[in-house]
Structure 1
Amino acid sequence: MPDVPTHPLLDVLLAGGARAERLTASRTFPERTAEHADWPRWADATVVQGYRRLGVDRPWTHQAVAADLVHQGRHTALATSTGSGKSLAFWLPALSAVRTAAAAATLDPGNIESAHVRPTTIYLSPTKALAADQLSALERVLDAAGTRDVRVATCDGDTSREERSWVQDHADVVLTNPDFLHYSLLPNHRRWTRLLKGLRYVVVDEGHAYRGVFGAHVSLVLRRLARLAARYGVGSPTFVVASATTAEPAVSAARLIGVAPDDVTAVTEDASPSGRRTVVLWQPPEITGWRPPADADLSAEVGSLHRDRSSDEPISMRRADLTEPDPWALPAAEPDPEAAPVATEAPPEHPRRSATAEVADLLADLSAAGARSLAFTRSRRGAESVAQQARDHLRHAAPDAARRIAAYRGGYLPEERRELEQALRSGDLLGLATTNALELGVDISGLDAVLIAGWPGTRMSLWQQAGRAGRAGADGLVAFVAREDPLDTYLVTHPEAVFDAPLEATVFDPANPHVLAPHLCAAAQEAPLRAEDLSAFGEPAHVRGILEVLVARGALRRRTSGWYWTHHQAATGLTDLRGAGGSPVRVVEQGTGRMLGTVDAASADGQVHDGAVYVHQGTTYVVAHLDLADHTAVVQRRRLDYGTWSRSVMSVAIEGWGEDVEDADAGAQGGDGPGHDLVTREWGPVTWGLGPVEVTSQVVSFQRRRVPDMQVLGTEQLELPEHTLGTVAVWWSVPEFVLRAADISPEEAPGALHAAEHASIGLLPLLATCDRWDLGGVSTELHPDTGEATVFVYDAYPGGAGFAERAYDLGATWLRATRDAIAACPCADGCPACVQSPKCGSYNAPLDKAAAVRLLDAVLSHDPAYLGVAPG
């Protein structure tokens, strides 16, 4: 065990030494003293007075530096830690600008120069919750300042017509989200003339959240906004991108807003105070003496869950609740698409205690000790489960503490989320089990401890969540609790991978033609595209080439004055920023009609099918009926001793397979998603393919399992529709004799293919400027279309996003980098650095690192460009 750091709450976690062996590593980060600066001279005195009355006597240095850059009109990337007060840096210049303009008009109302348009600000956040939180904080500043001449409001899809009209006519500061810009404000910009004419600042909060395809979409929405603002005569507004600490913040911000990196100034030196933060890595203990219940057929439960052998699926395609069986924890029994799937092998003889059960114990102990804590879980189900178990632990020993523990997750009604946030701030709540919904910038300060159940996906997310502990200069304790997962196990036994590895860059590609094309159509509908506009959307030659394709296909019309949208329907309907895939399903209580929450459309089949158990703040409900047409699930409240688990199947079909295909040597240029031509090429016995595929997922049944022994009480079939993602995939197939020549036995083949699939997905972002979460994959030792062992990697985006094309064009480079990365990794059997995936649809099993290297060597040996050259 490592040297145990000193922290007043650590002994609570260690239970006086009884849990000491579970702590695998620790590090204490020193406290940071505050560095203050004077208020800028240009800052409005009334606004400054408001901040002072709220306790901000002087700003921290990074706040003052960033605010001054913004005031000067410099695009600014502010990347400092959670709780470092980034909002002051953009609200100070924004509010001061409005106050200065209002004062000028008041002092000299007859002067025509004082009748200019009031400066306005648009604030964008990835979630409505964060916008609402910022509105509350902004109103506190204005109330403290005693000023009523700055008009602020939120405006989104939930805003009524009357409220929206007021915002259009009067608001100086509008807090919204990229979706509202795309679907409403920009297409109807003439109704927003006043706001756009005065647009001085655009604030993009939580900038690190805009990555992958979503980030590319938002980048193009921002470019459309800047173009319209310039057309209304104010020039380009000043952009502020506030982000968590991330790699290359200026480069990422510049790409996001569409300017050169030199045009963005990064502020990264954090001058806010921070207490000591102790971070511990924690591995739950093995459970000895456990055996599955005699009548629980776990081999069937964890058997073949997919029509194909294994899959590495994006979150957008996960509809089954395939969480690991957890006989030691009360499952909150609400299926969640983010939960990790079960293994495809029999459970180990001595399984470790689940992270959910472990974190529930720790949260209960911290709450009993009076500590205010957050417990981050990987799923909605996990949040409900941790909260319920913690309450159960304390119900008799500390009933007051038990009443002060709750769950927080997406799907709750907005007013319920606000109540929970306020209760945590005020101390009415001691413990809150949450999904990553509280990872973003909602103001939750003064917490003593943060528990993280399972790897959150990136180091950036880990440190965002950890930053909730010990804010405002207080000491904080953070515990990362490993799930029984190879990735988590690797991290808690290799602390350098957590503490010393660099943060990830925010990756997205706004030049991707599949993303860019529909935004060019939307921009042309907003105002005809001129030749001088093209540079705003990327390299002019590249943009012009896409416009020519759109003209050829009838989407746009080319005239001497520019490119025009000539259709009746809205061009914004050509794309979905988030790929949500439909309206959310409302969960409604039978009899009362009370709406409990919502479930996103992509997950509804697995979460709220008929007979499913739905849990809301520890209260259990049974779904009486799921009406997909009406987007409603009607539930009945019941006391239950069981939970439900759904099962799904998944398959990938190649469209047009068996028909005449294009000669692959001609390349794969000009594809457009579902209409993409199917092309192939041969490397001797190895076949490469690129083309349209259908990735199909269907929830087919569910089990009822008694709590807590997990005894299977029954299985019921479900008749739910299949959900199909039409996209583009790249694949390669090898005949059986190639596998045998590589000394890969039939038993090793699934692990070799699966490991190669994972590693190739991990390496593709280096070549395709995408994010791992923009991709999905499937590997199978016998695919029905190819008739051979096949590895697929597909774009997790309807119609494709160009990533598969890039992989096809650079096939040899891609696979060689994949092979070398696996071979160079010093681990013995595979780790997250090579063949394990954080989003594996079959729980990183089976994987065979050595066989994967042999397989890739065999495939690359047939590359025409390298014939006769040994791989590596």
Structure 2
Amino acid sequence: MVSDAFPGTDQLYSHQSQALRLLDKDEHVVLATRTSSGKSLVYQIRCLQLLIHDPNSRILCMFPTKALAQDQARSLRMLLSHAPFGLSADDLFLYDGDQGTKARRGARSARILFTNPDALHHGILPNRKLWSILLESLRLVVLDEAHVYVGPFGGHVSGVIRRLRRLCFLHGNRQVQWIGCSATITHPSKHMEELTGIEGIREVREDGSAHGIKEYVMWQGPRIQSRGSEGEMEMSSDRGSSLEECTRLLMLMLHSRIRTIVFCRTRKHCELLMKETRDRILRETADQSLVSKVISYRGGYQAEERRRIEADMFSGASMIVISTSALEIGVDLSHIDCVMMHGVPRDLTSFHQQAGRAGRSGRNGLVLVVGNASSLDRYYLEHPGKLLDAEFATDPVHWSDPMILGEQLQCAAYESFLDPHRDEVWWNGVPGGLEAMAKLYLRPVGSSAFTWTQTYDPYPAEQVQLRSGNGFHGKEGEKDWTVVDVGRGRGLRILEVVEPCRGIYSLYPGAVWHYQGHTFLVEELDVDKGWVGVRLARVDYLTDPRDYTDVDPEDRMVSMTLDEAERGTSVCYGRVCVKRTVFGYYKVHPKTRAILDRVELAAITEREWTEGLWIDIPGRYVERIKEGMEASIHAMCHAWMLQAPLATGSTTGSADLQTECKHPAATRFRPPRLILYDGPSGKGWSARILPMVRETLWGALERMEECECDMGCPKCVEHPRCSEQNRVLDKNGAIQLMNLLLRGHWEEGEGKRQ
């Protein structure tokens, strides 16, 4: 049956057999073998085993992205189409937020349900009576790409999983088995136990799969030639555009029939690379049909558009796929020969996941890392061992974080009254006990039960967001922006729906906006209605926003003295306002990035509120560092951002902590202040850091003083998420300022590498 569905699969690998034997013994299992090692086949076979044994069984498979769910659904349906005993591809339903009402109703009786944490949280658990068949008959839950569920997002997903286990129990179901899968988990069983609350999960790590050879190439564009003072040609230290270099390499891959996927850091880069490649094909080749062989894929596309693109990808009809990180997780594009990265990924897990898309099914593969002009990329291209030889690590799951736990308990109490004595088992190990948390966050009902509070009307799951945006508690103009093509004559076509915090930088009036290789001009923006009108255009320039972001405290909740000598410097925690303003844009040359024109706009402003930590620098220290104060503060904040998560148990140092980054051309006055705040997916980070703020600041100082670099590097002050590309940093000034804050003194020569 398996070999019929997947030709060439004549026998199982040793790790697949080991995992299936454990599952036959009713063990919970986590598979942590490398990418493309056949982890999916294990849970697919287990699905069939359970359904053949009991046709009334229900299976739930949870994926972090819609693209991955579509890919795995295609694979399992192929297996089901060859299965005996009345099983068929129609037994599998997707429920991920893209389905209409009729399809959602059909999903409630599905034997195999593919979903994501958000749909489970928003749609299934709050409506448990409608999903009673699933909750009563659920026999297997699969958590694919489980490494994604870390930090605050992982804490919320853990709460969703514990709520699911609780509702199954309340429906009389005590037979649910769990399978986790990931190629990039440091401690697989520990991670799964934190995520699910289940102890004794067995891990399978010894990889028995066959793999081809994978070559890694670190690539930089050619050096730019310029004329010297005597008129002779000289080689500049600058290099050509990484985007142009990627386009040139993609043309080579296309003509050589080498199937390639390109990963870009941002949606903008994805669309620009798609446009440049499409234009180059039309300009340089006689075979215009090659245009249809290049497709782009990213978040934001409408559901129908995503399905069409996914069908092309999975069938192998496309030669080149240009994507964001939306396709880095688990998607099996077995025909891909080469992975190209436009810029070094921002973390090690992403690097390994992206590289894992090449050389699947035992084939050889090529990983091509095309560096850009950023100092971070230059660092890794000059020190490739830091990237290729480093061991990845997995951050903890913040399931017991008080803020996250409080919101998840609201959701649980809405689904069924919370009884701390009965329900302690699902949240075993909560600091202070479940009853204390219930008294703190919930409304008592009777003598021993609790229910949700009405501040979460109409129901808690609608108010509690698992990921994007959940770091922010309030917004102005919360309505998303709908991008509409107004130049189609009859009717209007919706192209995309964009969050305001993203749209403000790309959809201002006059902006050049790209969509699947086509160029549009933004004609109209109505923020109040959430409506953006765009029209196809031919222009010979790009646009970059002229913008700034101010981050200011609004409500101090906690204040504590920073130093033991009581010199009066305080660190504060509380509510901060993040104000983004676009006041114009630059028209820039698409090749050289030279500024062609400056355009003024009526200011477009977007505000959001979150929590943060800040330290107002005393005037006496400002006087000591008059020159380069902003660069010193910026470097200090970066060092703090790099160090702070490590003190909270993070092994990677990654967290969605943000700061107010400095632009080299900025002239407006900003208070001399260190500030870190919770980003959109980083809810709770600043609160976790507060009790150990002194430790994190001392650690940041040691990080800078012990680093061997002179001007700053990714190990000390250069941050991968700096919105201004780490252009305004003063490492020595940061060391001086940090010494003043922590020690109260600094003498010339202190803190500099000897």
**Alpha-carbon distance, 1:290 to partner:** 8.4
What aligned pairs does 1:114-513 form with structure 2 within 5 A after superposition? 118-145=56-83, 148-149=86-87, 151-168=91-108, 170-235=109-174, 237-260=176-199, 263-289=200-226, 350-395=237-282, 397-400=284-287, 401-513=290-402
Q: 2: CA distance between counterparts of 1:448 and 1:521?
A: 48
Q: 2: CA distance between counterparts of 1:446 and 1:681?
A: 61
**Alpha-carbon distance, 1:570 to partner:** 0.6
Q: Does 1:836 align with 2:711?
A: no
**Alpha-carbon distance, 1:779 to partner:** 6.8
Letter in 2 for 1:369: S
Higher RCO (CA < 8 A, seq sep 6+): 1
Q: Does 1:77 align with 2:30?
A: yes
CA offsets 1:763-794 (integer angstroms, 9 cap, x no match): 1112234663321123789x99x996321111
> Cα–Cα, structure 1 residues 56 and 787, in superposed 2: closer, same or farther, change >3 Å?
closer
Q: 1: CA distance between counterparts of 2:243 and 2:406?
A: 44
Counterpart of 2:438 in structure 1 is 547
Q: Secondary structure of the residue that 1:652 maps to in structure 2?
A: strand
> Cα–Cα, structure 1 residues 726 and 394, in superposed 2: closer, same or farther, change >3 Å?
closer
> Cα–Cα, structure 1 residues 524 and 680, in superposed 2: closer, same or farther, change >3 Å?
farther
Q: 2: CA distance between counterparts of 1:290 and 1:772?
A: 43
Contact 2:467 2:680 in 1 (8 A): no
Q: Secondary structure of the residue that 1:746 maps to in structure 2?
A: coil
Structure 1 alignment gaps of length 5 or more: 1-46, 103-117, 292-347, 666-678, 864-869
Q: Does 1:698 align with 2:594?
A: no
Q: 2: CA distance between counterparts of 1:392 and 1:797?
A: 35
Q: Does 1:746 align with 2:746?
A: no
Counterpart of 1:826 in structure 2 is 708
**Alpha-carbon distance, 1:646 to partner:** 1.6
CA offsets 1:96-140 (integer angstroms, 9 cap, x no match): 1111113xxxxxxxxxxxxxxx22111111122222222221111
**Alpha-carbon distance, 1:187 to partner:** 0.7
Which sits farther off after the overlay, 556-565 or 770-779?
A: 770-779
Q: 2: CA distance between counterparts of 1:454 and 1:240?
A: 34
Letter in 1 for 2:332: D
> Cα–Cα, structure 1 residues 210 and 583, in superposed 2: closer, same or farther, change >3 Å?
farther
> Cα–Cα, structure 1 residues 714 and 788, in superposed 2: closer, same or farther, change >3 Å?
closer
CA offsets 1:798-826 (integer angstroms, 9 cap, x no match): 9x843323333222211111111222223
Counterpart of 2:231 in structure 1 is none
> Cα–Cα, structure 1 residues 189 and 858, in superposed 2: closer, same or farther, change >3 Å?
same
Contact 2:544 2:587 in 1 (8 A): yes
**Alpha-carbon distance, 1:465 to partner:** 0.9
Letter in 1 for 2:99: T
Q: Secondary structure of the residue that 2:226 maps to in structure 1?
A: coil
Contact 1:732 1:791 in 2 (8 A): yes
Counterpart of 1:537 in structure 2 is 427
CA offsets 1:467-491 (integer angstroms, 9 cap, x no match): 1111111111111111111111111
Counterpart of 1:5 in structure 2 is none
Letter in 2 for 1:223: R
Contact 2:35 2:353 in 1 (8 A): yes
Structure 2 alignment gaps of length 5 or more: 229-234, 471-477, 746-750
CA offsets 1:73-99 (integer angstroms, 9 cap, x no match): 322222223222221111111221111
- The normalised TM-score by structure 1 is 0.77
Q: 1: CA distance between counterparts of 2:114 and 2:325?
A: 22
Q: 2: CA distance between counterparts of 1:431 and 1:602?
A: 30
**Alpha-carbon distance, 1:614 to partner:** 2.0
| From 609, 630, 643, the counterpart of 1:763 | 643
Q: 1: CA distance between counterparts of 2:621 and 2:544?
A: 40
Q: Does 1:616 align with 2:512?
A: no
Q: How many residues were matched structurally?
A: 720
**Alpha-carbon distance, 1:656 to partner:** 4.3
Letter in 1 for 2:583: V
Q: Secondary structure of the residue that 1:473 maps to in structure 2?
A: coil
| From 93, 98, 113, the counterpart of 2:51 | 98
Q: 2: CA distance between counterparts of 1:122 and 1:290?
A: 65
Contact 1:681 1:687 in 2 (8 A): no
Q: Secondary structure of the residue that 2:48 maps to in structure 1?
A: helix
Contact 2:275 2:518 in 1 (8 A): no
Which sits farther off after the overlay, 432-441 or 576-585?
A: 576-585
Counterpart of 1:855 in structure 2 is 737
> Cα–Cα, structure 1 residues 473 and 804, in superposed 2: closer, same or farther, change >3 Å?
same
| From 774, 777, 801, the counterpart of 2:659 | 777
Q: Secondary structure of the residue that 1:751 maps to in structure 2?
A: helix
**Alpha-carbon distance, 1:572 to partner:** 1.5
**Alpha-carbon distance, 1:858 to partner:** 2.4
> Cα–Cα, structure 1 residues 65 and 807, in superposed 2: closer, same or farther, change >3 Å?
same
Counterpart of 2:605 in structure 1 is 722
> Cα–Cα, structure 1 residues 144 and 432, in superposed 2: closer, same or farther, change >3 Å?
same
> Cα–Cα, structure 1 residues 662 and 79, in superposed 2: closer, same or farther, change >3 Å?
closer
Q: Secondary structure of the residue that 2:81 maps to in structure 1?
A: helix
Q: 1: CA distance between counterparts of 2:740 and 2:236?
A: 36
**Alpha-carbon distance, 1:148 to partner:** 3.8
Letter in 1 for 2:335: G
> Cα–Cα, structure 1 residues 604 and 780, in superposed 2: closer, same or farther, change >3 Å?
closer
Contact 2:558 2:572 in 1 (8 A): no
Q: Does 1:632 align with 2:531?
A: yes
Q: Does 1:565 align with 2:456?
A: no
CA offsets 1:144-192 (integer angstroms, 9 cap, x no match): 2356435211113232222222222x31111111111111110110111
Letter in 2 for 1:686: T
> Cα–Cα, structure 1 residues 648 and 392, in superposed 2: closer, same or farther, change >3 Å?
same
Contact 1:219 1:255 in 2 (8 A): yes
> Cα–Cα, structure 1 residues 790 and 434, in superposed 2: closer, same or farther, change >3 Å?
same
> Cα–Cα, structure 1 residues 787 and 496, in superposed 2: closer, same or farther, change >3 Å?
closer
Contact 1:50 1:146 in 2 (8 A): no
What aligned pairs does 1:51-90 form with structure 2 within 5 A after superposition? 51=5, 54-90=7-43
**Alpha-carbon distance, 1:511 to partner:** 1.1
Q: Secondary structure of the residue that 1:411 maps to in structure 2?
A: coil
Which sits farther off after the overlay, 170-179 or 241-250?
A: 241-250
Q: 1: CA distance between counterparts of 2:260 and 2:14?
A: 29
- The normalised TM-score by structure 2 is 0.89
Counterpart of 1:648 in structure 2 is 547
Q: 2: CA distance between counterparts of 1:81 and 1:586?
A: 40
> Cα–Cα, structure 1 residues 824 and 663, in superposed 2: closer, same or farther, change >3 Å?
closer
Letter in 1 for 2:392: L
> Cα–Cα, structure 1 residues 710 and 264, in superposed 2: closer, same or farther, change >3 Å?
same
Alignment root-mean-square deviation, CA: 3.1
> Cα–Cα, structure 1 residues 290 and 250, in superposed 2: closer, same or farther, change >3 Å?
farther
Q: Percent identity?
A: 30
